[in-house]
Chains A and B, each alone.
Chain A
Amino acid sequence: MAISSKGVMRPGHVQLRVLDMDEAVEHYRDRMGLIEVQTDPQGRVYFKGYTEFDKFSIVLREADEAGLDFMGFKVESPEVLAGLRQDLIDYGCKVEDIPAGELDGCGARVRFDSPTGHFFELYAEKEQTGKWGIPNLNPDAWPEGLKGMQATRFDHCLLFGGDIDGTSDIFIKVLGFRLAEQAMDGDMRIASFLSCSNKEHDIAFIKHEHDGRLHHVSFWLDTWEHVLRAADIISMHDISLDFGPSRHGLTHGARIYFFDPSGNRNKVFCQGDYYYPDHPVITWTADQLGKAVFYHSRELNERFLTVTT
């Protein structure tokens, strides 16, 4: 059972806008090491991490600007989906029903807006094609033939916007997420990290003057050695580097940040704290923000805090 008290299991997919599909496919497939699943009739390209059972988790759409179209969460059942749809309407969200099959292999989706200008979705069903190269019966440890950074799975997004308390309130009150960690500037919350699972964050928000912004899409790697190897691949292919490899104070993840060819920020990371619903909220104060973001250098970096798509 999901730890979310309302039956939300996990981040399930994200649809990103890219400026050039060929460059983006090369990046996500050959550098990140995601598995290319298919191209749909609209020209969107689907990917997944090799450990993911569901058919896809990353969808790329070619557009005139970079950024996030929407982030979707998988819930436990169609009954849960119907209940949460009504709860979102009752809360005051604008809800749009997206029919099954609009994303190939995905069931009906319930899309809703938020005070920070981001669009989110819930869905209960997605075709399960299984882990890539690993059977369900007597599975080996990992598949041969993985490329690049060998990203194992989509993990979370960090989003920027104005009213982060407003959007967090929907996730907490309607969807059953819990506030695991926060950063406070006096009485003002400037970052909230929310969990629907054992992970320290399944989605995070940072206060920013522009709404609807994507800070990063994050992927899980198993070890610090994999993170260092990802850094090597970033140098080998002159991928635009943001920061790292290093550690966060917030959540204590060890990671490296870089940009896809359209400027969407990616993160690959390992380690980090775990979460249970009885844990107290962890707080970082504004005077320690350098350490919270860059645990080793302890100096804030303007690009990290202001560059978004």
Chain B
Amino acid sequence: MLHQIDVPSEQSSFSCQSGLSLLVGMERQQVGASMTRYIPAGCRGGGCGVCRIRILSGSYTSKKMSIKHVTPEEREQGVALACRVFPEGNMCIVVLERSEARAPDNNC
């Protein structure tokens, strides 16, 4: 089953198959592929924090993601890693800056 994922900030949308994460669903979409790369792909396993999004609406399930990239407070506000979110219906999301961009550990 295909779900429509709207990304209003990109004025675009893509289709994601049931059972695939939002990130991998986006990567699998072959038609218009060059237009559907706006969620950056990192490790695809919830560890690196590159594919941060905010979920505005829609139903989904999710798997565990590294707490250093999405804090429990952020989770409550709909922040998630796209590689760990599995849509169960149409969704609407915003792509966020990777958590890396927020607070470097040092100034090199």
Contacts and interface: CB of A to CB of B under 8 A. Distances in A.
A64 B43 contact: no
B106 to A, nearest CB: 4
A64 B42 contact: no
Contacts of B106: 162-163, 209-211
Interface stretch (B3-11, B29-37, B45-53): B45-53
Interface residues of A, number: 29
Contacts of B100: 209-210, 306
Interface stretch (A4-12, A118-126, A130-138, A260-268): A260-268
A80 B38 CA distance: 53
A20 interface: yes
Contacts of A67: 47, 66
A35 interface: no
A262 B46 contact: yes
B27 to A, nearest CB: 10
Quick one: which of A19, A20, A210, A263 has the most chain B CB within 10 A?
A: A263
Contacts of B50: 303, 306-307
A127 to B, nearest CB: 31
Interface string B75-108: 0000000000000000000000000100011111
B67 to A, nearest CB: 4
Interface residues of B, number: 22
A97 to B, nearest CB: 27
B54 interface: no
A128 B26 CA distance: 47
Given A19-B65, A64-B64, A240 B45 contact: yes
A306 B51 CA distance: 13
Contacts of A64: 64, 66-67
B1 to A, nearest CB: 19
Interface string A210-245: 111000000000000000000000000000101000
Interface of A: 19-20, 64-67, 117, 162-163, 207-212, 240, 242, 259-265, 303, 306-309
25 contacts: A20-B64, A64-B64, A65-B47, A65-B67, A65-B68, A65-B69, A66-B45, A66-B46, A117-B105, A162-B105, A207-B108, A208-B108, A209-B106, A210-B104, A212-B105, A240-B44, A240-B45, A259-B43, A259-B44, A263-B45, A265-B43, A303-B50, A307-B50, A309-B43, A309-B66
